[in-house]
Every structure is written in C-alpha cells, then in structure tokens.
C-alpha cells in the first residue's frame, strides 16, 4: 500500500502537485513570494538536498520529505504533503502510512531528525505522534529555539 523511495525520480508536475497542495499550510517565509516564485525556489532547493524521501501509495506520490544526510544521520528541512488520489490528506493520520515512514527511516538512517515551526499544522500533528515515535525509535533529543521571532521545535531520534 504505502512505500518510500530514497532520492526518487519525480517529474516537475509531481513536485508542483505536492507543493501546491501544501501551499495553504506553508510557513510565512515561503509565502512571502508568489506561489509560482516560491514553487521555483523550493524546487531548486529540494534538488540541492542530498536526501529526499518520496512517500507513495500504489505508485502515486503523496509526500516529499527533503533534507541533508551525513554519515547515516538525516535532518529533514522541508516536507510537502500532497493530496492522495481521492483529494484527501487523511493518510497522515493513518498508522500504516506513519509506520511505513518510520520503518524506512530505521533501515536507511542511524539518526532521523526534523524541525517544525511551533503551533504550525505540522507541529501540532507531530505532537500527536510523540508517543508513536518514542515507542518506535530509540533515544530522542528535543529542543526549542527562537530565531527572528519564530519558535522552532526540533526532534532528533536514534533509529536503532
């Protein structure tokens, strides 16, 4: 049903779809540009990352997670969540989807980290999944940092 691909090939149209489906929930530093300008900038940025994870349902890209990997330690710096083939994003609440991403991470990385903007939709969702992550991963390090008036919540998990 769900699968992940490390550094997948994807078309400009696939990236545009997941990006545009995410537009309404993106942080303000991305929406200060027009949607088209931001799409172009983010597509270029993601292409420069050395770790991209495509999450698929039956070959249909649902999400693209992007970050930097060094020595089997990955820090995600962006995530775009597209609608599924029925026009829904409910999959992010599906334990099978979540466990697929966790299982993939445990196979490919020794550490897996991400940062969210405090009280953003992604941060609020991530907080509902803390128990799952704490059960499925090893040691966790979390921290909060304020930068230019924005509060960021970071989490870093050992995968073994």
**% of the chain surpassing 70 pLDDT:** 83
Contact 151, 160 (CB under 8 A): no
Please name the fold of domain 2-158. Aminopeptidase (3.40.630)
8 confidence band (pLDDT: 50, 70, 90): very high
**% of the chain surpassing 90 pLDDT:** 47
Q: What does the domain layout of the chain look like in residue ranges?
A: 2-158
> How do 2-6 and 60-70 pair as beta strands?
unpaired
**Residues 76-98: tens digit of each pLDDT:** 888 899 999 999 999 888 889 88
pLDDT at 79: 87
If we measure between CA atoms, which residue out of 11, 110, 113 comes closest to residue 54?
Answer: 11
Q: Which two tokens stand for residue 104?
A: 């993939």
> Is the confidence at residue 51, as pLDDT, over 90?
yes
Q: 18-32, 58-72, 134-148: which range is least confident on average?
A: 134-148
112 confidence band (pLDDT: 50, 70, 90): confident
């Amino acid at each position: 049903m769900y699968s992940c691909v490390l550094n997948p090939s994807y078309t400009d149209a696939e990236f545009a779809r997941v990006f545009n489906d995410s537009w309404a929930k993106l942080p303000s530093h991305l929406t200060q540009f027009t949607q088209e300008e931001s799409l172009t900038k983010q597509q270029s940025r993601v292409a420069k990352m050395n770790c991209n994870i495509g999450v698929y349902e039956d070959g249909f890209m649902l999400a693209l997670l992007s970050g930097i990997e060094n020595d089997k330690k990955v820090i995600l710096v962006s995530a775009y969540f597209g609608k599924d083939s029925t026009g829904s994003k409910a999959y992010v609440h599906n334990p099978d989807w979540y466990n697929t991403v966790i299982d993939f991470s445990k196979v490919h990385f020794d550490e897996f980290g991400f940062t969210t903007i405090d009280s953003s939709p992604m941060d609020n969702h991530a907080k509902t999944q803390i128990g799952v992550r704490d059960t499925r991963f090893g040691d966790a390090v979390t921290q909060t940092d304020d930068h230019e008036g924005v509060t960021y919540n970071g989490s870093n998990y050992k995968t073994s």
